[in-house]
Chain A
Amino acid sequence: MEFFDFYRKDRWPHQFCPGCGLGTIMNCLYKAFNDLNIDIDKTVFVSGIGCTGRVPGYINADSLHTTHGRAIAFATGIKLSRPDLNVIVISGDGDLFAIGGNHIIHAARRNIDLKVIAVNNANYGLTGGQMAPTTPYNMITTTTPYGQREYPFALAELIAAAGANYVARWTTAHPNQLVKSIKEAMQTKGFSFIEVISQCPVNFGRRNKMGDPVFHLRWIKDHSVPISKMTFDINSPYDIVDLNTKGIYIIGDLVKRNRSPYGEIEKEIEVKGPQE
């Protein structure tokens, strides 16, 4: 697949800021699609509102740019009525986990065959850099002028707990791993979720001494810890919430399950039997 077979050439130039991580993520998507030779005509991209919500509009496939937070619910309708289609949701952390939090946990619980890429830039970029449910402690945003004073969500861990089949977290500083992860998600049946930590130098970095995209990327890289190096036991004084609060991200595959997806739960029960 040629580069401009994947993108809508007539939508160029795009609206993303210089240094934005979305370009990296879109090119990782392109690479994964190219490597796997996925039929783009059998693929629907669905998004909500936000910078990331604009991504499907630039991809040369069927795209549904929906209302704020509801992308997952729209995608559910598409997948159930056309199970033969690849349905990919790409949206931001605020869209999927603040206003749309209820929909994503239920879609993960149903283990419905959607591929979700949640781009986590730790703020609301499109509206001018407000606090998001993912903003780490003490970070300055336009609605936390004195520094963030809430605990952030651990997105990937939340979705893992809700029952998804594949959950991973990568960053824009790990493009090769991200491509591999997208391929893994595309080949996993059931709810697949990749959280991508991404830089937003213009609206988030600038207020936190990371206005230079390279600084921001380096910060992300320095704050990423491979999952193989993490050990938690039940008595540990630290857990994921504490790490997340400090803006430390565990990267890698968090969960790989092969539980039967939505609509095929009968198989699951037949194979394993209900636990008494």
Chain B
Amino acid sequence: MLTPGRYFLAGNIAAAEAALIAGCRFYAGYPITPSSELMEHMAKRMPEENGVFIQMEDELSAISAIIGAAWTGKKAMTATSGPGFSLMQENIGYAAMTETPIVIVDVMRGGPSTGQPTIVAQGDVLQSRFGSHGDYETIVLAPNSVQELFDLTIRAFNLASIFRNPVIVLSDAELAHMVEKIEVAQKYDIVEFNQVEVDLVPSFVPLGYGFKVAVTGLTHNFKGYPITNDVKVHRELVTRLVDKIIKNEPTISDVEIINPEAETIIVSYGISSRAAYPIIKDNKDVGLFRPRTLWPFPESKFKEIVKGKRVIILEMNLRGYAIEVERVGRKYGGKDFETIHIIGGEVPKPSHIEEVL
């Protein structure tokens, strides 16, 4: 494992190493640009750490295999990109319903469909939250540097362990291949299963220890037995699945706020947000609100600063996070909402923001 110190790493490699530090010992995946280096690195590193690596026949089975592994008590992950992420939606819903702790790194590329395989985009923001059917919640993290990708991947495993929920790290083609300096700390707080007790989250009892665990994607009672035609059972289960994330939003959400007093606030995340720093550095009239946790929406933090503000949303898609930013912003008295949507593979530049200012 990476010893404390400075390293010069590409995002995909940093995410893989971070997962190992977080205790991940099972990786199943399917090759897809631009996430393949992460998988290749895991193929090399997992045997060295006594973990399991397997290349599956598709993304459907990759996510199935990590859920199976997670149910034996292993920390498990997979990585993919848009087309594979679409295939995984089925079992993201299953993981949410069965409260399985798993981590998925989605390295975003241009879509829809096969789109732009090697080109950066932020088109999976809504899919990461709403992609599977029915009511459920995911925790979605959005780093904007290799260092943050490293740190947030470790946090993703901790959050998965604490909340028994799928956690998605939204990397992108730029972060994945960009090589940056990172600092590996002396010590990281690693949360094991059942280590932290949180309201609404039941303890995790894995398979294979004689507990006769029943797991099903059907609506089930506290024993895990299917009860599919009882209004009360379904209502209580699904409400709890949603509430365990939404009600814990203040502790989950993590944002960077610069110049909170400014009249204009830029809301941006991931690689796009890097265009905002040169602007706010010299201009105290412009602030930045950058969620590191996209979902659950950091409502408790956003409502503190949005009142009476002009909000500029910058992201690399046509219809994405802006929908939720505007909905929540208006609820808490945000004045004016403008969006800068840049697609096609051009990373936003400060000049894009200046045009609107």
Q: Contact residues of A with B, CB < 8 Å?
A: 8, 10-11, 41-42, 44, 46, 54, 57, 60-67, 69-70, 72-78, 80-82, 84-85, 102-103, 106
Q: Nearest residue in B to A49 (C-beta to C-beta)?
A: B217
From 24 to 68 in chain B, residues with beta carbon under 8 angstroms from any chain A beta carbon are 25-26, 28, 52, 54, 56-58, 60-62, 64-68
Seed contacts A63-B215, A64-B68; 18 additional CB < 8 Å A-B pairs: A41-B212, A57-B216, A60-B212, A64-B215, A65-B218, A67-B64, A70-B61, A75-B68, A77-B70, A78-B68, A78-B72, A78-B208, A80-B54, A81-B26, A81-B52, A82-B208, A103-B57, A106-B61
- 18 examples of A-B residue contacts, CB within 8 angstroms: A8-B214, A41-B209, A44-B208, A62-B211, A64-B71, A65-B218, A73-B65, A74-B68, A75-B68, A76-B64, A77-B64, A78-B72, A78-B208, A80-B65, A80-B69, A82-B207, A82-B208, A103-B57
Q: Contact residues of B with A, CB < 8 Å?
A: 25-26, 28, 52, 54, 56-58, 60-62, 64-72, 74, 76, 90-91, 94, 207-218, 225-226
Measured between beta carbons, the chain B residues less than 8 angstroms from A75 are: 68
Task: Choose one: A10, A54, A65, A73; the contact of B68 (CB below 8 Å).
Answer: A73
Q: Which of A54, A62, A69, A70 has the most CB of B within 10 A?
A: A62
Task: Choose one: B57, B58, B214; the contact of A57 (CB below 8 Å).
Answer: B214
Q: Tell me how far the C-beta of A199 lies from the nearest C-beta in chain B, rounded to whole angstroms.
A: 24
Contact A44 B207 (CB under 8 A): yes
Q: Tell me how far the C-beta of B227 lies from the nearest C-beta in chain A, rounded to whole angstroms.
A: 11
- Cα of A8 to Cα of B90 in the assembled complex, Å: 29
Q: Tell me how far the C-beta of B192 lies from the nearest C-beta in chain A, rounded to whole angstroms.
A: 16
Contact A77 B66 (CB under 8 A): yes
Known contacts A80-B52, A80-B54, A81-B52; is A57 also within 8 Å of B225 by CB? yes
- Cα of A186 to Cα of B214 in the assembled complex, Å: 22
Measured between beta carbons, the chain A residues less than 8 angstroms from B213 are: 62-63
Contact A73 B64 (CB under 8 A): yes
Q: Tell me how far the C-beta of A250 lies from the nearest C-beta in chain B, rounded to whole angstroms.
A: 28
Contact A74 B208 (CB under 8 A): no
- Cα of A63 to Cα of B91 in the assembled complex, Å: 17
Q: Tell me how far the C-beta of A266 lies from the nearest C-beta in chain B, rounded to whole angstroms.
A: 13
Q: Tell me how far the C-beta of B2 lies from the nearest C-beta in chain A, rounded to whole angstroms.
A: 23
Contact B57 A77 (CB under 8 A): no
Q: Nearest 10 pairs between A and B by C-beta?
A: A77-B68, A73-B64, A73-B61, A41-B210, A77-B65, A65-B216, A74-B68, A77-B69, A62-B207, A106-B57
Contact A65 B26 (CB under 8 A): no
Q: Which of A11, A44, A57, A74 has the most CB of B within 10 A?
A: A74
- Cα of A67 to Cα of B68 in the assembled complex, Å: 12
Q: Nearest residue in A to B62 (C-beta to C-beta)?
A: A73
Measured between beta carbons, the chain A residues less than 8 angstroms from B69 are: 77-78, 80-81
Task: Choose one: A8, A65, A74; the contact of B65 (CB below 8 Å).
Answer: A74
Contact B208 A73 (CB under 8 A): no
Task: Choose one: A65, A73, A84; the contact of B60 (CB below 8 Å).
Answer: A73
Contact A81 B217 (CB under 8 A): no
- Cα of A44 to Cα of B217 in the assembled complex, Å: 16
Q: Tell me how far the C-beta of B279 lies from the nearest C-beta in chain A, rounded to whole angstroms.
A: 46
Q: Nearest residue in A to B209 (C-beta to C-beta)?
A: A41
- Cα of A82 to Cα of B207 in the assembled complex, Å: 9
Contact A82 B72 (CB under 8 A): yes
Q: Nearest residue in B to A47 (C-beta to C-beta)?
A: B216
Q: Tell me how far the C-beta of B191 lies from the nearest C-beta in chain A, rounded to whole angstroms.
A: 19
Known contacts A67-B64, A67-B217, A77-B28; is A42 also within 8 Å of B226 by CB? no
Measured between beta carbons, the chain A residues less than 8 angstroms from B209 are: 41
